[in-house]
């Protein structure tokens, strides 16, 4: 009987680590691609979030931003609108993220030329009834069109 190749063992170990890192606390996690890596201020990224809980539950909202090295600024201002707390009322949170240090080193984690940063938005109590809630993300920078943003996502956890 032959010994399994070393790369098969490595793949099995990595798969086990990934599966062990999965969490049941994630309610929703999705990204929206920015066409042409040019994000116009009027281009609202919309996420329809199914909420299954039929009793009040605490949720944590995060925004993920993936940028390329030609993003021209250190920071990013986002406007995150949602109706998580009350399905009939949209509220807006302003989120400021630091994407690069003063020396130009990217703050996010990444491989190659794509860097990702996670920005906490807030903690919310979602009241029943269960249903679909909406999260909308736009940029609040002075430029009408931002270059170098690859995609933006949201993650909601319990």
CATH assignment at residue 41: 2.60.120
pLDDT value at residue 21 = 52
* Half-sphere exposure for 146 (CA within 13 Å, toward CB): 29
pLDDT value at residue 84 = 86
7 in a domain, yes or no? Answer: no
pLDDT value at residue 17 = 46
Give the whole-angstrom CA distance, residue 128 versus residue 103.
Answer: 47
Average pLDDT by consecutive 10-residue portion of the chain (158 residues)? 52 48 80 97 96 82 96 97 88 96 91 93 80 95 97 96
2 in a domain, yes or no? Answer: no
Neighbours of 93 (CB within 10 A): 14
Tally of domains within the chain = 1
pLDDT value at residue 58 = 87
0.85 exceeded by pTM: no
20 in a domain, yes or no? Answer: no
């Amino acid at each position: 009987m032959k010994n399994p190749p070393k790369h098969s063992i490595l793949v099995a170990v990595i798969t086990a680590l990934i599966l062990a890192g999965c969490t049941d606390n994630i309610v929703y996690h999705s990204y929206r691609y920015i066409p042409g890596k040019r994000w116009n201020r009027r281009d609202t990224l919309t996420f329809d979030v199914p909420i299954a809980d039929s009793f009040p539950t605490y949720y944590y909202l995060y925004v993920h931003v993936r940028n390329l090295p030609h993003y021209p600024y250190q920071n990013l201002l986002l406007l995150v609108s949602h109706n998580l707390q009350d399905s009939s009322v949209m509220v807006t949170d302003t989120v400021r993220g630091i994407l690069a240090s003063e020396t130009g080193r990217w703050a996010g984690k990444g491989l190659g030329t794509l860097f990702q940063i996670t920005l906490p938005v807030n903690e919310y109590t979602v009241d029943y009834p269960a249903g679909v809630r909406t999260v909308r993300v736009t940029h609040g920078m002075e430029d009408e069109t931002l270059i170098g943003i690859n995609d933006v996502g949201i993650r909601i956890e319990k």
